[in-house]
């Protein structure tokens, strides 16, 4: 079970913070069915969540679910439900393998508008200063800024435009985070 720490700075709910997430890659089907250790900050692939959902929900520390650009958001629905059950899910991360790959924008919009996801939605992968504003308009509220990009400039990019020609995703109220 390799452990890869993402060397990114995170923009979360309009604030900069260190990204301590760890990406769980199961070595085989048995690993996928068990999941990572019950510790904070794990991101598991959608396939692991689907195989071990009940085990992962029973943990003390919720996991994040990583959706690839070819993922089907409806796979997160259970037993004919119309909305995603948030139990045991820290957040949903959507991978952008290249900044020119727009499928993550569609996944975010589908999660928010069709599947009722109101929890944290994080853009990961090739997340650039130039894309953050548009990702936020589709429903992302946290961003793992690609290494080598200035996180302060990325934070300011969220306010690049004051007016828009098209409506964006209507965001739920931001959670009130305690100051550390």
Q: Render pLDDT for 45-69 as a digit per residue (tens, 0 to 9).
A: 999 999 999 999 999 999 999 999 9
Give the per-residue pLDDT at 5: 45
Task: Judge whether 12 lies within some domain.
Answer: no
Task: Judge whether 136 lies within some domain.
Answer: yes
Task: Judge whether 37 lies within some domain.
Answer: yes
**CATH number of the domain to which 43 belongs:** 3.20.20.70
Give the per-residue pLDDT at 92: 98
Beta-bridge partner residues of 145: 9
Task: Judge whether 97 lies within some domain.
Answer: yes
Q: Which of 167, 165, 151, 162 is nearest to 14 (CA)?
A: 151
Q: Is the dihedral of CA 64, 69, 159, 20 positive or negative?
A: positive
Task: Judge whether 130 lies within some domain.
Answer: yes
- Inform me whether the pLDDT recorded for 177 exceeds 60: no
- Inform me whether the pLDDT recorded for 2 exceeds 60: no
In the chain, how many domains are there?
A: 1
C-alpha–C-alpha distance, residues 103 and 68, integer Å: 9
Task: Judge whether 111 lies within some domain.
Answer: yes
Query: Could you list the residue range(s) of the whole structural domain that residue 51 is in?
Result: 17-158
């Amino acid at each position: 079970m390799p452990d890869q720490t993402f060397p990114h700075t995170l923009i979360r709910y309009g604030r900069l913070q260190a990204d301590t997430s760890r990406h769980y890659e199961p070595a085989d089907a048995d690993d996928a069915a068990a999941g990572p250790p019950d510790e904070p900050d794990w991101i598991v692939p959608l396939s692991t969540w689907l195989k071990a959902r009940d085990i992962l929900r029973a943990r003390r520390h919720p996991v994040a679910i990583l959706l690839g650009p070819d993922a089907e958001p409806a796979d997160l629905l259970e037993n004919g439900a119309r909305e995603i059950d948030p139990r045991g899910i820290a957040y949903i991360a959507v991978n952008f393998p290249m900044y020119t790959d727009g499928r993550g924008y569609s996944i975010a919009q589908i999660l928010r508008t069709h599947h009722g996801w109101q929890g944290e939605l994080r853009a990961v992968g090739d997340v650039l200063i130039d894309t953050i504003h548009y990702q936020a308009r589709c429903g992302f509220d946290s961003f793992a800024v690609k290494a080598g990009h200035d996180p302060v400039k990325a934070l300011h990019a969220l306010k690049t435009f004051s007016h828009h020609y098209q409506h964006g995703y209507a965001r739920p109220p931001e959670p009130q985070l305690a100051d550390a």
